[in-house]
Amino acid sequence: MSAIANRRAWPAGRSSVALSRAWRWRELGLLPLAGLPCVVGAIVLALVWERPLGDARFLPIYAFLGLLLVSHVTLSIFRSRSDQLLLPLVGALAGIGMLSVTRLVPILGPRQLMWAALGIVVMLVVAVGPWEARLLERYKYTSAAAGIVLVGLTLVFGIDPNGSGARLWLGTDQLSFQPSEILKVLLVVFLAGYLADKRELLTTSLVRVGPLRLPPLAYLAPLVAMWGISLALLVWQRDLGAAILFFGVFLVMLYIAVGQGWYVVVGSVLFFAGGVICYGLFSHVRLRVEVWLNPWVDPQGRSYQIAQALYALGSGGLFGSGLGNGYPLYVAAAHTDFPFVALSEEAGLSAGIALLMLYALLVARGLQVALSARLPFNRLLAAGLTSVLALQTMVIVGGNLKLIPLTGVTLPFVSYGGSSLLANFLILGVLLRMSHEEQVLRVRAESGLSTQLQRLWTGKFRPLAARS
């Protein structure tokens, strides 16, 4: 009877059963909410366009919802214990993006679906594959070398398929990709590995310069290198968005690693000083700043895009003109550069705020993954990848609202673009993988504790002194 009572008090394999609870019920319950904007948007567009819901224009939206369900089933089959809010949040954002592309340029819907499908495949391979996130630390210098090669190739062989004046793509006019999207992931991998390795040296004060106490000058080289790369992107590639994004991510990760605010202050001053110099030397930098400061000087010419965007935002009001009833196509490249403006015009300020709340929740969950990480590299990697999504959103929305000069980055998961979708789904896959690993470690730690308590309860655990 005592044995039976003991087994009731401490169920055998309790922790292993907990570890094998595979089905992700919370995620499954949230997926219908994630797909709701797609479904409602398709119904509204069908009514406005006077087309049946089975029209070919809406098929990419339905197919994407099917891909979300397949992703959920795959994660459950492979017993992923990753955060169950990440996929629904990204699904909602990418679904809004699919709806936006269908509304603005319906012919691009199937292509957006193709890139989303490839991105989801990449996400799943990374999330459930037989590898560990910390293995990336071994390849930090390989990532840095690959990033430098990509920058060099773009500077030399870059093309401009859109006629924007910036050679930011590699490939041909028919098939091209934007290296900066992959470069942001490589940059975070390198910085996470480097800062985790050199953190103690960066926080050791050996040199005093006035009121500042500096680490060995050799370890300040990444700061100078990132400053130079950012200015190179700004000058030669005319890519203000990538320059701000890369340097911003670097400063965020540096602050997380060393916890000293003066690094951020000095880095920001260096970047601002470089920008001022570029403003005086290069006409395209001056043009971008002048259009930002006063778009009404030439609203029918060089500042046409931002002027139309401001008109669209003003006409949207609180609840918008209604999906399909606005004029977002008056804004050039609305499906890539101004999806936030297009949404705010037709769905109103309320929808724009809701979209930003989705991003805020996604960033919060990504930072939660970073906080739960036990290894310094994993912590920095999760924080860096999350900061990429956060800063990219801030940069493009800030440009849409004329808070900062207009940049060429995309709104994560919402803007049309294959390179952007692939890179962002890759980031999601890494976050899912790290979340899974940390949860497994936690369950195993609890398993070890419960096993010892079970042995103590049944009288089978004896201290070493008693054994001797």
Identity of the amino acid at 102: T
99-121 mean pLDDT: 95
- Burial string for 183-202 (b: 16+ CB within 10 Å, else e) reads bbbbbbbbbbbbbbebbeeb
Choose from 65-69, 274-278, 450-454 the range with maximum mean pLDDT: 65-69
What gap in Å lies between CA 302 and CA 311, rounded to an integer? 16
Estimate to the nearest angstrom the gap between the alpha carbon of 107 and the chain centroid. 26
Q: Which of 3-12, 98-107, 158-167 has the lowest mean pLDDT?
A: 3-12
Do the beta carbons of residue 415 and residue 336 sit within 8 Å? yes
Query: What are the residues facing 171 on neighbouring strands?
Result: 176
Residue (of 238, 237, 234) closest to 276 by Cα position: 234
In this prediction, residue 449 has a pLDDT band, given cuts at 50, 70 and 90, of: low
pLDDT digits (tens, 9 = 90+) for 126-160: 999 988 888 999 998 888 888 878 877 877 777 77
pLDDT score for 461: 42
Phi and psi at 312, nearest 5°, equal -65, -45
Show the CA angle centred on residue 369, arms to residues 367 and 372, nearest 5°.
110
pLDDT score for 291: 85
Q: What percent of the chain has pLDDT over 90?
A: 45
Identity of the amino acid at 250: F
Q: Is 35 or 173 the better-scoring residue by pLDDT?
A: 35
User: Hey, what are 244's tokens?
Assistant: 């701000």
pLDDT score for 220: 65
In this prediction, residue 16 has a pLDDT band, given cuts at 50, 70 and 90, of: very low
What gap in Å lies between CA 113 and CA 357, rounded to an integer? 24
What gap in Å lies between CA 291 and CA 163, rounded to an integer? 19
pLDDT score for 463: 44
Q: Assess whether pLDDT exceeds 50 at residue 12.
A: no
Residue (of 454, 453, 446, 449) closest to 6 by Cα position: 454
Do the beta carbons of residue 53 and residue 42 sit within 8 Å? yes
pLDDT score for 468: 40
pLDDT score for 411: 94
Residue (of 188, 195, 174) closest to 146 by Cα position: 188
pLDDT score for 216: 61
List own/partner pairs for 207-212 with CB under 8 A and 24 or more apart.
212/262
165-188 mean pLDDT: 78
Q: Assess whether pLDDT exceeds 70 at residue 13.
A: no
pLDDT digits (tens, 9 = 90+) for 44-53: 999 999 999 9
What gap in Å lies between CA 396 and CA 391, rounded to an integer? 9
287-303 mean pLDDT: 84
Averaged pLDDT score across all residues of the chain: 83
444-449 mean pLDDT: 71
pLDDT digits (tens, 9 = 90+) for 382-436: 999 999 999 999 999 999 999 988 877 889 999 998 889 999 999 999 999 999 9
HSE on the CB side for 236, CA within 13 Å?
15
pLDDT digits (tens, 9 = 90+) for 354-375: 999 999 999 999 999 999 998 8
pLDDT score for 462: 44
Identity of the amino acid at 413: F
Q: Is 250 or 125 the better-scoring residue by pLDDT?
A: 125
The residue written with tokens 């930011």 in the block is 168
Query: What are the residues facing 169 on neighbouring strands?
Result: 159
pLDDT score for 352: 94
Q: What percent of the chain has pLDDT over 70?
A: 81
SS3 of the chain: the string is: CHHHHHHHHCCCCHHHHHHCCCCCHHHHHHHHHHHHHHHHHHHHHHHHHCCCCCCHHHHHHHHHHHHHHHHHHHHHHCCCCCCCCHHHHHHHHHHHHHHHHHHHCHHHHHHHHHHHHHHHHHHHHHHHCCCCHHHHHHHHHHHHHHHHHHHHHHHHHCECCCCCCCCCEEECCCCEECHHHHHHHHHHHHHHHHHHHHHHHHCCCCEEECCEEECCHHHHHHHHHHHHHHHHHHHCCCCHHHHHHHHHHHHHHHHHHHCCHHHHHHHHHHHHHHHHHHHHHCHHHHHHHHHHHCCCCCCCCCCHHHHHHHHHHHHHCCCCCCCCCCCHHHCCCCCCCCHHHHHHHHHHHHHHHHHHHHHHHHHHHHHHHHHHCCCHHHHHHHHHHHHHHHHHHHHHHHHHCCCCCCCCCCCCCCCCCHHHHHHHHHHHHHHHHHHHHHHHHHHHHHHHHHHHHHHHHHCCCCCHHHHC
Do the beta carbons of residue 242 and residue 158 sit within 8 Å? no
In this prediction, residue 450 has a pLDDT band, given cuts at 50, 70 and 90, of: low
Q: Is 83 or 9 the better-scoring residue by pLDDT?
A: 83
Find the radius of gyration of the CA atoms of the chain: 25
